[in-house]
């Protein structure tokens, strides 16, 4: 998949907005019912993921859900910030989707196509990200 520079910039804004939205979803889950996370790892084919989920995440799902909110919001902000922050955002969203794949083959139905698109967008966007992070102009 070959993506032009302008399409990559638009894609970055869409992905950044998506991650901000998903951060908000986690905040909503934490506020409404953190126990909603309970069965998320049930489909994992790896025992340590299922065990870790129940013995670590579900011990304090509100705190971990809030951490998900912060992480996804930060990734979205990195993608929207411009400059060198975008590289951290691309690496983060790709790593996040790879990590999601640990939770079972059902998640692969989302993650594999998402990764194909995210990697293509990041590759097309990467060369444009060599300039320093923009700074606010100070009025004199």
Instruction: Sketch the domain layout of the chain as residue ranges.
Output: 5-124
Q: 20 and 73 in contact (C-beta within 8 Å)?
A: yes
Determine the Cα–Cα distance for residues 126 and 5; give it in Å rounded to an integer: 9
Long-range contacts of 32-40 (CB under 8 A, 24+ apart): 34/61, 34/62, 34/65, 35/61, 37/61, 37/64, 37/65, 40/103
Q: Mean pLDDT, to the nearest integer, of 116-135?
A: 80
Is residue 131's pLDDT more than 60?
no
pLDDT tens by residue, 112-123 = 999 999 999 999
Percent of the chain with pLDDT over 70: 91
pLDDT tens by residue, 23-47 = 999 999 999 999 999 999 999 999 9
Is residue 133's pLDDT more than 70?
no
Is residue 82's pLDDT more than 80?
yes
């Amino acid at each position: 998949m070959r993506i032009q520079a302008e399409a990559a910039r638009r894609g970055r804004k869409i992905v950044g907005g998506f991650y901000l939205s998903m951060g908000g979803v986690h905040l909503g889950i934490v506020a409404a019912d953190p126990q909603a996370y309970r069965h998320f790892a049930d489909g994992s084919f790896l025992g340590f993921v299922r065990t870790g989920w129940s013995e670590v995440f579900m011990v304090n799902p509100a705190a971990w859900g809030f951490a998900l909110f912060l992480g996804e919001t930060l990734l979205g902000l990195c993608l929207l910030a411009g400059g060198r922050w975008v590289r951290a955002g691309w690496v983060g969203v790709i790593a996040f989707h790879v990590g999601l794949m640990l939770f079972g083959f059902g998640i692969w139905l989302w993650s594999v196509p998402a990764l194909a698109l995210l990697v293509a967008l990041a590759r097309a966007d990467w060369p444009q990200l060599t300039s320093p992070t923009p700074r606010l102009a100070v009025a004199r």
